[in-house]
Amino acid sequence: MPPTAKKILLIEDEAFIADIYAHELTKAGFSVRVARDGTSGLQILESEPFDMLLLDIMLPGMHGLEILRQWRTKSPNSTMPVILLTNLGQDEVIKEAFALGARGYLIKASYTPKQVVSEVTNVLGSNAASAIPPANEEARNG
């Protein structure tokens, strides 16, 4: 891992899914910290700097949108990009996420872990993951 690896906080309660994403992101050169519930995720987010937040919505302890709401209230000038990574696809949830400043909203069932890495790389503009090919345009637009 390069010394300037971008730091990502992944808040995901399902251990298997968190492990897959953490593995793929680490393999692509990112530094990943995982929180398995909303409350500890917000505490970690407030205690150290990250280059990106990957956030599930349905979490124990605290709902993902509430984490985002509290983060934006406490750090209104933060430019850290937030990508929601969830299986909730309701329009009003998506609209609320973007209203709270989310940069992206990925439906887990529609993206492979490698495509998620590609999306993260695109948002961060990181050279750390330059070996990852761009996501298939049909999959991204479909």
Q: What is the CATH number of the domain that holds 71?
A: 3.40.50.2300
pTM over 0.75: yes
Contact 71, 101 (CB under 8 A): no
pLDDT per residue rounded down to tens, the chain (142 residues): 445 789 999 999 999 999 999 999 999 999 999 999 999 999 999 999 999 999 999 999 999 999 999 999 999 999 999 999 998 888 999 999 999 999 999 999 999 999 999 999 999 984 444 333 333 333 333 3
- Residue 60 within any structural domain of the chain: yes
- Residue 30 within any structural domain of the chain: yes
Parent domain of 72:
7-141
- Two structure tokens written together for 134: 């761009």
Give how many domains the chain has, as a whole number: 1
Q: Nearest Cα to 55, choosing from 85, 79, 18?
A: 85
**Residue 127, helix vs strand vs coil:** coil
- Residue 2 within any structural domain of the chain: no
- Residue 1 within any structural domain of the chain: no
